[in-house]
Amino acid sequence: MADRSTLVIAHRGACGYLPEHTLEAKAYAHALGADYIEQDIVATRDDELIVMHDIHLDRVTNVADRFPDRSREDGRFYVRDFDLEEIKSLVAWERRRADGVAAVFPNRFPTGLGTFRVPTLREEIKFIQGLNRSTGREVGIYPEIKRPQWHRDEGLDISQQVVQLLDDLGYRTKNDPCFLQCFDAAEVRRIRQELGCQLKMVQLIGENTWGESPTDYDELIKPAALKELGAIVDGIGPSLGHLVTLSEIDGSPVSLGLVSAAHTVGLAVHAYTFRADQLAPGFDTMQQMVSWFIDELHLDGIFTDFPDQAIEAINS
């Protein structure tokens, strides 16, 4: 990893340039100099772990064309309803909006172009390990367990399976280049205490309205709760909205104090998501945004869709 204090974490790979969570996006993130590469993890019907941000397939693949009769009552196509062999037959593409046609980020890689595939977690990790060997760079992995309670309701203890797979591939201790993250605070505690995971762990901080987990994030970021977290995890992963607001006087960014509160109890802060095509309010350029968050808030890591631009901003 590069010799700088702020880690650059490739959010879903270099997804500002190539479709998210494809091996092509991960290879490019590695080439662009990312320190860590993120893997979101969900499970198939035959209990295989794949790398995909959602428990649904329809925004990022051609599943509706290939299997038009396989949606649930809500009209969505769930990963859990497909075997790995079926998912491997799908073409992955740039994320689309709810209409299934328009790209979320219209100036990124053209949606529907190319023949990208959905990787398994094992395939991706071994791919990154192979790149580490061939390039001589040690790039870490940053897996996220998605919706563990939902998976349990579907009949699978996904956390146990993820921890076991990571152990099989050599990620076992805090000295290994791996951060394990999850939005569910109860599950994070269970992974550490019941499953005995000794990896570096990060508690993700979301909004209660997202429905990611039963966790009350408003309570979780209070000083007493952060102190308790410090005994369980190594860091927190808040959104940029948890870190900054705009001054009522001149519209300039103002810290909300979460980073300093976390640092006080020994927690690192890895914030998400730095995008050149979706700047946080109060900033005009990617370089200005990255520089302010690092210089003013002293972030320990940043998740970004554009690793090269983040590195350039940090180095400059």
79, part of any domain: no
92, part of any domain: no
**pLDDT tens sequence for the chain (316 residues):** 444 699 999 999 999 999 999 999 999 999 999 999 999 999 999 999 999 999 999 999 999 999 999 999 999 999 999 999 999 999 999 999 999 999 999 999 999 999 999 999 999 999 999 999 999 999 999 999 999 999 999 999 999 999 999 999 999 999 999 999 999 999 999 999 999 999 999 999 999 999 999 999 999 999 999 999 999 999 999 999 999 999 999 999 999 999 999 999 999 999 999 999 999 999 999 999 999 999 999 999 999 999 999 999 999 8
Number of compact structural domains in the chain? 1
75, part of any domain: no
**Which of 21, 53, 56, 151 is flagged as catalytic?**
53
- Using DSSP bridges, classify how beta strands 235-238 and 268-274 pair: parallel, antiparallel or unpaired: parallel
62, part of any domain: no
The answer for 21, left when phi > 0, alpha when psi is -120 to 50, beta otherwise, is: left
133, part of any domain: yes
**Which of 11, 30, 242, 270 is flagged as catalytic?**
11
Is residue 53 part of the annotated active site? The answer reads: yes
Q: How many residues are present in the chain?
A: 316
Query: E strands of the chain, at which residues?
Result: 7-10, 36-43, 49-51, 140-145, 179-182, 200-205, 235-238, 244-246, 253-255, 268-274, 301-304
Structural domain range at position 13: 7-55+118-315
Is residue 30 part of the annotated active site? The answer reads: no
What pTM value is reported for the model?
0.98
